[in-house]
Structure 1
Amino acid sequence: MGLALATAGMLTAVLAGGVAGAAPSPRSTPVFDGPSTPVTFETPDGELFSYVINTTRANPGHVQQVERAVVKSGGVVVQSWPEIGVVVAHSDRAAFRADVKRRGGRFVGSMGPTRYGTVYEGTPEGIETPWSTPEPVPPAAQPGVSKPDPRESEQWALKAINADQAHRITEGSRDVLVGVLDTGIDPGHPDLKSNLDPSKSVNCADAGRPDRSATGWHSTVNGHGTHVAGIIAAERNGRGVVGVAPKVRVASVKVTGDENMIYPEYAVCGFMWAARNGFDVTNSSYYVDPFTFWCTDQPEQAASVSAVRKAVEYATRKGVVHAAAAGNGTTDLTAKTTDTYPVQRKINNDCLHLPGELDGVATVSAVNSKGQLASFSNRGLGAIDVAAPGRDVMSTIPGGGYDAWAGTSMASPHVAGVLALMKSAHPHRTPAQMLEALRDQAEDHSCEPAEGDKGPACQGPAENNSHYGEGVVDALDAVR
């Protein structure tokens, strides 16, 4: 999600000749074709770090060889995903990376740390380690909540995507399950508890291992996941708001730790959980930390990109279709030049916003109630699939209340809700067929200046342009 501020201690950008290439001006989209700035992960002895290791082949034999190399190199295996050839490991030894690559030999495809700092939550209970684990960071206080009252009249977004008309045909099927990969969901909210499926909910923020404890998937750090869940599937019960698909089920897949960060191993766990548990749709209103953009021309960053990509692709093969936020940086995703989080560095178009820029994911930009691209929304010709409401979106928040929030985080769940309605009406469609229909059915939107005339100018025809992609998503066409 990128809401936490990075510290400079454990991540170093190696700047050759300083930071060249200015940030894009509001009316231009320059392109930087050089290599991205190398970043050094410092992992000193005595400090606990997390790593992803991709095996050369996705089979149990290769995974077992890498697991042995991890143990012999002074680490522990936290979680293995043999279906995709990914191992998550912890170690407090500076030489761990080199030793695993040496001992693992041809079985190690790529490897890299997943964080710029120590594993704050420690190694999960039940795993014997040669080191002591740190005390976990306590959850942040819950935000204040508004007094509950009916708010459907304030939901301009439902009409903007024709969800109100779609509901006359279907409000969704109980057979459809949507995974909310986010900060957790408030299980007691009156608009959510009937549609929330605890049996399919999980906490993936325990070092990337599925935690099925009774309350692990609850909302703790903030109300983000609760707000997203309400956009997708708030029940029509006369109490507050209504979701895009008010009769489908949602599962809380908590991928945000108590320090408000989403690391690669958390995201991998989330997508693999969806794949293993029969989910139909996932929503990812976040970007994977600690980078805004992960650069595939840097081997250690590429290891995490590969792990997340394989998890998304595996879930897709299992029948799961994905929606993801484009991001809130007013960035042209086809003309990347610089990044400032967590360190200032040069980047290029081989640097990816995860998971939104992965193939097979519907990347969603945000529009306001006037149909303009929201000033904060990322954009890019060919990078955006569809647009959806993301400004002043009323939805559920923890404690039984409601509030209007803004972000591509709010746009993406509108699309996830439409995909859930589509799956309800057309249960035999594959993920590829659903994405194709989503794009084809979107309402074309001609180029116009973004809200406040901010960011790179719109490029392309009404049928597919840099601000709206193939148009504003249409719930009515999705169910007809």
Structure 2
Amino acid sequence: MPKTPQGGTGEQPGQPDGNEKHSRSDDSAGARARDAISGRAVVERKKKYLVAPRSSPAGAGFMAPLALAALGPLARSMATAAMEPAPSLSSVQQALQGLGDIDIVDTVGAPSGATSSGIGLASLGGAGNGAVAEGVLVARMTDRKAGELLQRGQGRLLVERDQHLQLLDPMLQRPDLVSSLTPYSGPTAEVAITVLGKDGAPLAEAEVSLFGGVLPSTGTSGPDGTVRLLLYGDDPHMISGLYVKPRADYWSFYQRDPEISLAEPNVVMLRALADWPALQNLPRQSTLGWGARAMRLDLVPPQYGGMGIKIAVIDSGAATAHGNLKHIRAGFDVINKATDRTTWNTDTLGHGSHCAGVIAAGDPTWGIRGFAPDAEIHVCKLFPGGQISQLIDALEYCIENQIDVVNLSLGGGAPSEALERQIVRAKGAGVACIAASGNSSGPVQYPAASPHVLAVAAIGKIDEFPYDSYHTETVGSDIDAQGYFTARFSCFGPQIDVCAPGVGIVSSVPPNNFAAWDGTSMAAPHVTGLAALVLAHRADFQMLRARSAERVERLFQIMRLSARPLTLSDPSRIGYGMPDALVALGLSPAAGQQVGNWQIPTPSYGMIPGMLPGAMIDGGQHSQAYAAQQAAGTAGFPFGMPMGGMRPSGW
């Protein structure tokens, strides 16, 4: 018997054993079976990523040759690599094309070398963690390929997922968890809800939701105003809430623990917006919303309209067929730029139209009056479907068109280095970004969390909406003596700069209607509109015309220091408080004093003398308190606190 190799089975070397034969047979059979099936194997989908060169670490280029020689071989090679200039965008693009399986779909941000508005790297003052002005590549690749690219870049490439952005919309917050799957069997019942409006007319397209029971149930009312909802379980006492959200022109309705009948339709009568005392005759004559009145816009001289200032609303578009928005004539459809850039004036969501109305509703005889009706409004359409890359593109439009103030009622899941670099570029070009803090009742969302934007939280006021509307569900526990409260949905944290009205805000929605919505999305436009008035009419900016980061920071400083604390909450929820239009514009006088031909009544509150230079009318003389602050180098800061004292140094 021939001797076999140690550990062998008696078969010749290289000859498969029985198990290997069986395995190969299975493989062949599997291959034949796969060949017989038509279709495509499931693999990882390519996602959009942002890729851009990073500059050398700070100070790396100043390392002396002698110090470099003293390093070990590995450290010396790393330091030498760090001293090399950042790769160009074109070289990065060539490298990506050479790797294969990466599809470059767009380039966003600045053109090579400088922006088209003539603002180059030098104007940024080195801010922004090595921001370059060459732009950002948008490429499709798998997560695995992105990880490989990041590793190859060795810290010299920015590689990040192109996140989807969300409108900070005023939609009802759904329950966080569903307790079970839809039952396969068991008792069910149909609940009929009929929604009626003024004079008992049926209201179609109203969203109706029942909460409680096994599962929530939602539907939309038909032409007869009725919606039939399926209730799992036959006990209507399990229902904990009934919510009705009309499309427009009516207040919402909310009833806790409603008495629901299964035998006959349950009728909900909605209140018309125009029946509310503060909105009488809407829209037949121009009306100021409660938020504008709270910020004392009603006491600002009527000639203060924001003339000469450009405002960008980066949102879902704006319906220029609306009577309050027909003066808007400029825009850019970012999401459809490859096919038609001009469709920015179609707003299928209504969100951008609502924000634009708060900022600049323009008809002096009809509808809602905005803060800055004479400003030049630019609309950048980013929704539905907007991503970080498209927001970078929209901000590039703002830089190129020398926009003064940008309203950002949107947010993302996580901070973005690529977007932060563009925000810094925009700030260096004199573009002031004002952002909603978010509606998740949690930490401030990005980009509001960036130290280079003004973050706005939302507050409400008792008696500015019906007791049976859903707005009552937003009331926090910190109501002050004037009825102001922090909205329960509003995000909070040390990044909050100011707060503004964001509950029961009435503004324009398509096609030519009005709606009362909640959200920090509604609060931010109040501040954006006032910021435009400050840039147009405050004396500081008649001299400070040069577009720069300093101009933006001065604007932010004025907005913060013109604010007064409201609610019983702490600064993490309201920041410096709600900006006051008269103080921000430098019009807040002593009791009964006349400004030009405009008589200002005695304010019921005021600021500490000297807190805001130029805000108080005192014959041009600053107070002794301000003089002391000026000598100490802290002039213009409340209680001597330096700028950024309420903000972290980074995001």
Query: TM (normalized to structure 1)?
Result: 0.68
Match of 2:48 in 1: 50
Letter in 2 for 1:79: T
Change (3 A) 1:202 1:379: same
Q: 2:521 aligned with 1:409, yes or no?
A: yes
Q: 2:274 aligned with 1:276, yes or no?
A: no
Q: For residue 115 of structure 1, report the CA deviation from its aligned partner.
A: 4.3
* Aligned match for 2:318, one of 185, 193, 196: 185
In 2, Cα distance between the equivalents of 1:389 and 1:151? 22
Superposition pairs for residues 187-336 of structure 1, below 5 Å?
187-194=320-327, 196-198=328-330, 201-206=331-336, 213-257=340-384, 261-288=385-412, 291=413, 294=414, 305-331=416-442, 333=443
In 1, Cα distance between the equivalents of 2:143 and 2:304? 56
In 2, Cα distance between the equivalents of 1:250 and 1:77? 30
Match of 1:375 in 2: 488
Superposition pairs for residues 34-73 of structure 1, below 5 Å?
45=43, 47-57=45-55, 62-73=88-99
Superposition pairs for residues 156-175 of structure 1, below 5 Å?
156-168=290-302, 170-173=304-307, 175=308
Q: Is the 8 A contact 2:164 2:386 kept in 1?
A: no
Q: Is the 8 A contact 2:316 2:383 kept in 1?
A: yes
In 1, Cα distance between the equivalents of 2:45 and 2:150? 20
Q: 2:575 aligned with 1:441, yes or no?
A: no
In 2, Cα distance between the equivalents of 1:387 and 1:363? 8
- For residue 68 of structure 1, give the secondary structure of its aligned residue in structure 2: helix
In 2, Cα distance between the equivalents of 1:399 and 1:376? 28
Match of 1:78 in 2: 106
* Aligned match for 1:150, one of 279, 284, 288: 284
Q: Is the 8 A contact 2:158 2:418 kept in 1?
A: no
Letter in 1 for 2:50: V
Q: For residue 151 of structure 1, report the CA deviation from its aligned partner.
A: 6.5
Change (3 A) 1:253 1:145: same
Q: Is the 8 A contact 1:219 1:225 kept in 2?
A: no
Q: 2:498 aligned with 1:386, yes or no?
A: yes
Letter in 2 for 1:205: I
Q: 2:162 aligned with 1:114, yes or no?
A: yes
Q: Is the 8 A contact 1:86 1:307 kept in 2?
A: no
Q: Is the 8 A contact 1:438 1:473 kept in 2?
A: yes
- The CA deviation string for residues 412-467 of structure 1, in whole angstroms up to 9 with x for no partner, is 0000001100111135361011001111111233x51xxxxxxxxx33xxxxx222
Match of 1:33 in 2: none
Letter in 2 for 1:47: R
In 1, Cα distance between the equivalents of 2:151 and 2:521? 42
Q: For residue 156 of structure 1, report the CA deviation from its aligned partner.
A: 1.1
In 2, Cα distance between the equivalents of 1:392 and 1:398? 18
Q: For residue 150 of structure 1, report the CA deviation from its aligned partner.
A: 3.4
Letter in 1 for 2:440: G
Work out which structure has the larger RCO, using CA pairs closer than 8 Å and 6 or more positions apart in sequence: 1
Q: For residue 286 of structure 1, report the CA deviation from its aligned partner.
A: 1.1
* Aligned match for 1:398, one of 503, 507, 510: 510
Q: For residue 479 of structure 1, report the CA deviation from its aligned partner.
A: 2.2
Q: Is the 8 A contact 1:330 1:379 kept in 2?
A: yes
Change (3 A) 1:236 1:245: same
In 1, Cα distance between the equivalents of 2:50 and 2:156? 11
Letter in 1 for 2:402: G
Letter in 1 for 2:106: V
In 2, Cα distance between the equivalents of 1:167 and 1:243? 14
- The CA deviation string for residues 94-117 of structure 1, in whole angstroms up to 9 with x for no partner, is 6532554477x4684221222489
Question: Aligned residues, how many?
Answer: 354
Q: 2:493 aligned with 1:359, yes or no?
A: no
Letter in 2 for 1:275: I
Q: Is the 8 A contact 1:62 1:107 kept in 2?
A: no
Letter in 2 for 1:371: Y
In 1, Cα distance between the equivalents of 2:287 and 2:498? 25
Letter in 1 for 2:361: A
Q: For residue 404 of structure 1, report the CA deviation from its aligned partner.
A: 1.1
In 1, Cα distance between the equivalents of 2:324 and 2:535? 22
- The CA deviation string for residues 131-188 of structure 1, in whole angstroms up to 9 with x for no partner, is xxxxxxxxxxxx9544972364461111100111224351111x21111011111121
* Aligned match for 1:432, one of 550, 553, 576: 553
Change (3 A) 1:417 1:72: same
- The CA deviation string for residues 249-300 of structure 1, in whole angstroms up to 9 with x for no partner, is 111111223xxx4321122122222112110000101112xx2xx1xxxxxx
Change (3 A) 1:216 1:171: same
Q: Is the 8 A contact 2:456 2:496 kept in 1?
A: yes
In 1, Cα distance between the equivalents of 2:427 and 2:303? 27
User: Where do 5+ consecutive residues of structure 1 fail to align?
Assistant: 1-43, 118-142, 295-303, 334-351, 449-457, 460-464
Letter in 1 for 2:292: L
Query: TM (normalized to structure 2)?
Result: 0.51
Change (3 A) 1:76 1:56: same
- The CA deviation string for residues 179-234 of structure 1, in whole angstroms up to 9 with x for no partner, is 1011111121121121x132xx112224xxx5583533233440000000000000
